[in-house]
Structure 1
Amino acid sequence: MNKMGTITGFTFKNKVKTKSFVVTTIVLALLISIGLNVPYFITLFNGGSGGGGTAGSNPVNIGLLSSGQPEVSEKLEKFSSAQGDQAYRFIAAGDKDEAALKADAESGLTDGYLKFEVAQGQEFPQPILYSTEEVSPQIIASIEAALQSVKLDVVVKDVLTAEQKELINTPVKVSEQSLSVDEGGSEAASENGMSPINYIVVYLMIILLFTSTMMTGNMIASEITAEKSSRIMEILITSVSPLSQMFGKIIGIFMVGLLQIGIFGAVVAGNVLLPHNRDVLSEFSLNLSDVNLAVIAYGLIFYILGYFLYAVMFAAIGSMVSRTEELGQAVLPITMLSLVSFYIAIFSISTPNILLLKVASFIPFTSPTAILVRIGAGVAPTWEIIVSLAILAVSILIFGWLAAKIYRTGVLMYGKRPTFKELFKAMRAYKI
């Protein structure tokens, strides 16, 4: 156990000090920071122009051509002013004609003007917005909502009370729910997915599990292959048991992966807490208190178990390869398994109740990501989670034992890659 701890510590320190680890961590941290701040950069490049209608930019100034429709213009200006701070602002034109308002817009005093054209047979005029730059759809929608309220005032005049007008203007929202049938045959209403913040958490954890498994798994395989090809393994094998070597490297590189995840987590948290990013989160109605803690707790458990399952397989494959040039082809089957697990979860994230995802939740190679989607959506019963964990744990023991047998014989087999028959013959000579 002491020797395994020594190998774990040596592997961790050795990998953390390498240039590849430092450069990869810095580059990925920068890419994460840039990705999280893209909306803010777009705002800066737009010069905070009102036409974009972004949060924190100057409001769009729109002149009102009141000639011919003074009542509509006056009501519209009053309604807009009563709404408080908005992304746009109406400016009364007074006695100015259309030519004067156009000149104001071209000189930069305003961003455009709103004109009302009366069509024969219509009780309410047709509004037309003339602008120097393209106005964002959000601002157009706000102006249309204001016009809708003014239209009600103009058309019905004093027929309705203020309370009735307010009731008519209140939008009706439809909340969607699906009917699912549980295994007892009863029908129950449940959400057809997960909240936006939980969707993001599940999505990020799936990506994290896949990328971390691939990066650390290839580290393990390449570390073992490099030692074997340089003949250092012949010296190590005489002082430390193969089992201690294999699990020492697996745990050491697992700690490297955890360190990298911690760094990325700190980078994400630091960027999300920036003032301009907090505004973006509030616009999308994302509340961190809505995060399902069970998703994070189970996600960490399945991440650790999934890592060790793939890690022992990478270690076994690495011990069978004598040259690093052959490593990519040798680990291809494991890479394909990990890709299958990743794509099943990603493509099923919005349909967590499909049969494929249910079956994948009990297959050890795909369960870490598949069951996570179902936990996030709240459709995975507790017994399914326990059974999935049990199958995964038993699989780690079986594949760990098998990998130890392969590692014990493979690290001292040089030349061409051994066939399954040769490997099986050699494995029978050693007991783990």
Structure 2
Amino acid sequence: MNKFWIILSHTYINKLKSKSFIITTILSVAIVLGLTNMDNIIHAFDKNGGKDKVAVLDESGQLYEPFKQQLHKINKNIQLYHYNGSETEAEQAVKKGDYTGVIQLRINEEKLPEATYKAMSIADSSLYNDLQTGLQQLKTMIAASQINLSPNQLQKLYEPVSFKQYALEKNAKTEEQLKQARGLVYVLLFIIYFSVIMYASMIAMEVATEKSSRVMEILISSVSPIKQMFAKILGIGLLSLTQLAVFLSVGYYSFNKNMESLSGLFGFNQIPVATICYAVIFFILGYFLYATLAAFLGSLVSRIEDVQQMITPMTMLIVAGFMIAMFGLGKPDAPFITITSYIPFFTPMIMFLRVGMLNIPTWEAVIGIVIMLVTIVIFAIIGARIYRGGVLIYGKFNSYKDIKKALQLTKNE
């Protein structure tokens, strides 16, 4: 057993001290900080402090003030300036960077407002849409006054219709709770997806690297291949938990610091403890499932270049589960989502999606966990046999025919 812990600690410490791990961690922390401080970063690089300056050429002489009032209700970050120069001078001012764009207001033959907007680029659709919406509201007011509608009648006409949703199912989540759960599940699904796909691939690469350097021949003479496989799986697992602890600590600190903006962005204010527990459980189970697969697949190749080809089907399974989960965010109660949540390759993400979005019975989540545990045990037994023979296979990569060869080598031992 001492040899098992030696391999485990060797795998963990070597990876922890490696330049690739350190650089990846630093870059990932920088990305986390960047995402949670996106508003501050945008404002830091924006010379106008996030505000758009738009010059207004009012050819009618009476549209500027009401247009400014309507636009202020829509977006306070758009600053309008009454420009008294010519159209050519206004365009030159835009080219110099004095204004984001210039809008020309006029009254058409029907005595209704219309406009032309010019800017260096029309890629900023949000600014254009806000200007258009403001002008549309102004046009509505003027048209209403022409047909003698009172302000109260106009308000009644555009008052939103009352349309409420109620769930008949007992203890079903409200619309606000679903919005919060959707944002939370979306973030945690990404964590599970990228963690599983990254660390499982790392195990396959670790095994293939040792085989290509012939270190494996020395190891198998003193330590059984089964101990090697599980020592590497646990070693990389501890490494992943270490890295995730760093990410979550930085993310938690930055989230609390930018609580207001991020709550609006992701749609949640606090994370339910039960959801976090399920996220941890399904993350660990998903890791062990795919890590076991990656370990014995990595043992079948003798060259590092063949690793990606060998683990591609496994990667596609993870991607498929993630894509199904993304679809399920909109329809978490769809029969297709329910069925696929019990397929072990998809359970870590899809069952977690259902747990986070719906009030499903506890026994359904427990069944999903049990199915995964049984699958992991089966893959561990089969994987250990394939790994034991696979580490002895050298030479040209022969795809999945090598699995049969590995099993035969195991039987002959």
Opposite residue 334 of structure 2, the aligned amino acid is: I
* Contact 1:295–1:375 (CA under 8 A) maintained in structure 2: yes
Judged with a 3 Å threshold, the aligned counterparts in structure 2 of structure 1 residues 383 and 91 are, in CA distance, closer, same or farther, namely same
Q: CA separation in 2, counterparts of 1:113 and 1:235? A: 76
Mark the runs of 5 or more structure 1 residues left unpaired by the alignment: 49-54, 94-98
Q: CA separation in 1, counterparts of 2:131 and 2:271? A: 31
Q: CA separation in 2, counterparts of 1:85 and 1:354? A: 38
Structure 1 or 2, whichever has the larger Rg, is 1
Secondary structure, counterpart of 1:356 in structure 2: helix
Is 2:115 the partner of 1:129?
yes
Opposite residue 129 of structure 2, the aligned amino acid is: P
* Contact 2:340–2:347 (CA under 8 A) maintained in structure 1: yes
Shift of 1:364: 1.1
* Contact 2:204–2:298 (CA under 8 A) maintained in structure 1: yes
Opposite residue 364 of structure 1, the aligned amino acid is: P
2:11 aligns to what?
A: 11
Opposite residue 324 of structure 1, the aligned amino acid is: I
Is 2:376 the partner of 1:396?
yes
Deviation string for 1:323-371 (max 9, x for gaps)? 4344334334433333332333234432323333222211111111121
Q: CA separation in 1, counterparts of 2:104 and 2:304? A: 70
TM-score by length of 1: 0.72
Is 2:199 the partner of 1:216?
yes
Q: CA separation in 1, counterparts of 2:52 and 2:193? A: 43
* Contact 1:316–1:406 (CA under 8 A) maintained in structure 2: yes
1:299 aligns to what?
A: 279
Secondary structure, counterpart of 2:345 in structure 1: coil
Q: How does 1:20-39 map to 2 (within 5 A)?
A: 20-30=20-30
Q: How does 1:59-74 map to 2 (within 5 A)?
A: 60=54, 62=56, 67=61
Judged with a 3 Å threshold, the aligned counterparts in structure 2 of structure 1 residues 73 and 316 are, in CA distance, closer, same or farther, namely closer
Q: CA separation in 1, counterparts of 2:299 and 2:75? A: 66
1:367 aligns to what?
A: 347
Q: CA separation in 1, counterparts of 2:383 and 2:314? A: 13
Q: How does 1:12-411 map to 2 (within 5 A)?
A: 12-30=12-30, 47-48=47-48, 56-57=50-51, 60=54, 62=56, 67=61, 76=66, 86-88=76-78, 105=90, 112=102, 115=105, 117=107, 119=109, 125-133=111-119, 135-145=127-137, 148=140, 152=144, 156=148, 167-168=156-157, 170-172=159-161, 174-175=163-164, 195-266=178-249, 268=251, 279=261, 281=262, 284=264, 286-289=266-269, 291-378=271-358, 380-411=360-391
Equivalent pairs, count: 399
Judged with a 3 Å threshold, the aligned counterparts in structure 2 of structure 1 residues 421 and 92 are, in CA distance, closer, same or farther, namely closer
- Aligned-residue Cα RMSD (Å) equals 4.4
* Contact 1:312–1:400 (CA under 8 A) maintained in structure 2: yes
Judged with a 3 Å threshold, the aligned counterparts in structure 2 of structure 1 residues 415 and 73 are, in CA distance, closer, same or farther, namely closer
Judged with a 3 Å threshold, the aligned counterparts in structure 2 of structure 1 residues 381 and 88 are, in CA distance, closer, same or farther, namely same
Which moved further from structure 2: 244-253 or 19-28?
A: 19-28
Shift of 1:303: 0.8
Mark the runs of 5 or more structure 2 residues left unpaired by the alignment: none
Q: CA separation in 2, counterparts of 1:189 and 1:11? A: 46
Q: CA separation in 2, counterparts of 1:11 and 1:60? A: 59
State percent identity of aligned pairs: 31
